[in-house]
Amino acid sequence: MAFSIFGSKKKNSIDDNFERVQEQLDDLERTDDPRNIEKYILDSCEQIVRMTKDIESGRRESRAVSEYLDDIKRIREADDETGRKLKVTAGHINDLLKSRESFRNTPKRLNKEEFRMIDEEREELPGIIERMKENEVYEGRVKKDMYSMEGEKARLEMRRDRLNAEIRLVRNLSIVSLVLFTVLILLSFVINKSTGAGSSLFFSLALFIGALAAAGLYFSGSRLGRTKQSVIRSLNSCISLLNVTRMKYANVKSAVDYNITRYKIESASQLEYMYGLYKSMVEDTETYRKNNLELSIEEDRFKDLLNQLGLNDAAMWTEHIEAFLDDDELKKTEESLTEKLERLKSAISVTRETVKSERDDIDRLMKENDYYVSEVLEIIHSVDRICGLKRNNAYSRKEKK
């Protein structure tokens, strides 16, 4: 239990005071200046007033300590039923205080801005979280489809380019075949003219080969053309679907990004986690409020029980309930207060003796120099009353004059 301790200032002994006054008197005799006498007396009076205030403060604290000791005596003399109620109530108060302290020491899980934001939308937030989760799943699926379509588009473009290359090759072969066929016909014609030999067989063979080559190139070109048209149709369809998918992805990503930016999060899971922290903090706050209400009720009940014992300061004991939970603690408190009271009395006694010494020094100095001022006499009289000192008759005579 913590109580304030009256601290006495360090005082000079009576011999020290006497020697100091004697030195001041020697100086006064050498200078023979009345103002020095007045200054010394006023300085001494100022010191006496400070020490007198210390005495008054010590007496007030001594009375308070005595009252606390009286309270402990009444607590010990309480009947068994009242003592049991005090102990049980003190235990409840102690548990509630620990619970409140535990709540205060709990680290804040959301900052003020996050808590305020979630609190403003606490009704709509579960729906927002659910929609955001759905959007994230849909975003992932659309993104996967978009990547798949982009791959298909690239594959179709590569096939289209390959078909174009094949078609160019067939066209080139057709030109080459036409040139060769023309050369063969001319060659056959030249041979026929120069030799006069019949070349119908050679001509027929060349014509047959040319026809076969032309037919093969024709059918090959037709097939490649049809395949190219099919690939182009598939490519156009893929591009159309890809554009739609990209638009869907852009829309759903925009919705997800809006919530991410708005709530300063990375995903719906984080927002859900923050909402869980918010609910936990709200529950803790409500528990804290109920705890304080119950604590107030228990403290009032505790005060009522203490007031029934007629204690001097029942309210103070509500701050030191540990003394009611442990008999050893109450005993330690009593011993501490007893020691403190002795220290206070000793300090007051020492200060009182120092004041008396200072007062006697002033008295002697005023007598020797016939220096009596009404303000100084009033200070001395006040000190006499406070410290319980006998009034000097010389002062009374001077006051009457």
Whether residue 109 contacts residue 277, with contact meaning beta carbons closer than 8 Å, is answered with yes
The structure tokens 């078609």 sit at: 167
Residue-level length of the chain? 401
Name the pTM for this structure.
0.53
Cα torsion through 338, 339, 340, 345, rounded to 10: 90
Whether residue 220 contacts residue 170, with contact meaning beta carbons closer than 8 Å, is answered with yes
Residue 374 pLDDT = 60
The structure tokens 């849909």 sit at: 138
Q: End-to-end distance of the chain based on CA atoms, in angstroms?
A: 56
Distance CA 52, CA 378 (A): 14
Residue-wise pLDDT tens for the chain (401 aa)?
A: 434 333 333 334 434 444 544 454 455 444 445 556 666 666 777 777 777 788 888 888 888 888 888 888 888 888 888 888 888 888 888 888 888 888 877 776 788 888 888 888 888 889 999 999 999 999 999 999 999 999 999 998 898 888 888 878 877 777 777 777 777 777 777 766 776 555 566 666 666 776 777 777 777 777 888 888 888 888 899 899 999 999 999 999 998 999 888 888 888 998 899 998 888 888 888 888 898 899 888 888 888 888 888 888 777 777 778 878 877 878 888 888 889 889 888 888 888 788 777 777 777 766 766 655 565 666 666 666 655 555 554 444 444 44
Q: Is 81 exposed, middle or buried (0-12, 13-18, 19+ CB in 10 A)?
A: exposed
CB within 8 A of 162, min separation 6: which ones? none
Render 177-223 in DSSP notation, one character per residue. Answer: HHHHHHHHHHHHHHHHHHH----HHHHHHHHHHHHHHHHHHHHHHHH
Whether residue 197 contacts residue 191, with contact meaning beta carbons closer than 8 Å, is answered with yes
CA 379 vs. chain centroid, Å, equals 57
Distance CA 329, CA 156 (A): 90
Residue 394 pLDDT = 44
| Ramachandran class of 10: left when φ > 0, alpha when ψ lies in -120 to 50, beta otherwise | beta
Distance CA 178, CA 3 (A): 122
Q: Is 288 exposed, middle or buried (0-12, 13-18, 19+ CB in 10 A)?
A: middle
SS3 state at 16: helix
CA distances from 395 to 41, 107, 265, 269, 335 (A): 15, 70, 87, 91, 45
Whether residue 1 contacts residue 336, with contact meaning beta carbons closer than 8 Å, is answered with yes
SS3 state at 303: helix
Phi first, then psi, for residue 106 (nearest 5°) are -70, 125
SS3 state at 106: coil
Residue 247 pLDDT = 93
**Single-letter amino acid, residue 112:** K
Distance CA 155, CA 149 (A): 10
Q: Is 271 exposed, middle or buried (0-12, 13-18, 19+ CB in 10 A)?
A: buried
